[in-house]
Amino acid sequence: MPFELGDFIVVGDYLGTVEYVGIKTTRLKSINGEEIIIANTDLTSSRIRNFKRMGQRRVVLNFGVIYQTSAKQLAKIPSLVEDIIHNTANAIYDRAHFSGYGEYSLDFEVVYFINTNDYTIYMDAQQQINLNIKSEFAKHDLEFAYPTQVNYLNNLPELDDSSNGKPATAACQTAHSR
């Protein structure tokens, strides 16, 4: 039998905890609380994912830092993240790498495992890792990247901006620097 009472399973689009296994049907309690009844004939022809039997969860964390990050700072990021994961309960570090050059970021990929099948413990560990990364990055003046665009305005006529008396090019530069 691929599951038993109390197991958390996914069958197609349905997910929930197995509450009853009968001759003709199986009942799941969804995470929203509703009862899902699945014909056993449907179960025999479906792929079933059983999360209760999972020993650990693999997590792939991708993030990017700004292009202004120095090579020296980039080199420190993998060990910084490794230390954070090693100091998080139920977490096992696998690897962290500078993985490439994105459109607006220098990209990293981090892989680690959480030693539990309990979703709440998994989320708690993941949250702790994310918060600690944010905190450590702030201490080391590392900035996360986000989509940005730089527009260069060349050959603008020197027009007066009647609202502040400055030339239009100066007004554009002021707006750009904010």
Task: Say which residue the tokens 């944010």 belong to.
Answer: 134
Confidence grade of residue 151 (pLDDT, cut at 50, 70, 90):
confident
CB atoms within 10 A of CB 178: 4
Nearest to 144, CA basis, from 67, 78, 72: 67
- pTM (2 decimals)? 0.72
pLDDT band at 138 (very low <50, low <70, confident <90, very high): very high
Whether residue 100 is predicted with pLDDT greater than 90 in this model: the reply is: yes
- d(CA 24, CA 35) in angstroms, rounded, equals 16
Average predicted confidence (pLDDT) for the chain: 89
Condensed to tens digits (0 to 9), the pLDDT of residues 45-85 reads: 999 999 888 889 999 999 999 999 999 999 999 999 999 99
Beta-bridged to residue 35, according to DSSP, are: 29
Ordered structural domains, the chain, with CATH = 8-50 (2.30.30), 57-139 (3.30.70.100), 149-178 (no CATH)
Among 97-101, 131-135, 166-170, the range scoring the smallest mean pLDDT is 166-170
Amino acid at 22: G
**Contact (CB, 8 A) for 93 and 82:** yes
Give the Cβ contact number of residue 57 at 10 Å. 20
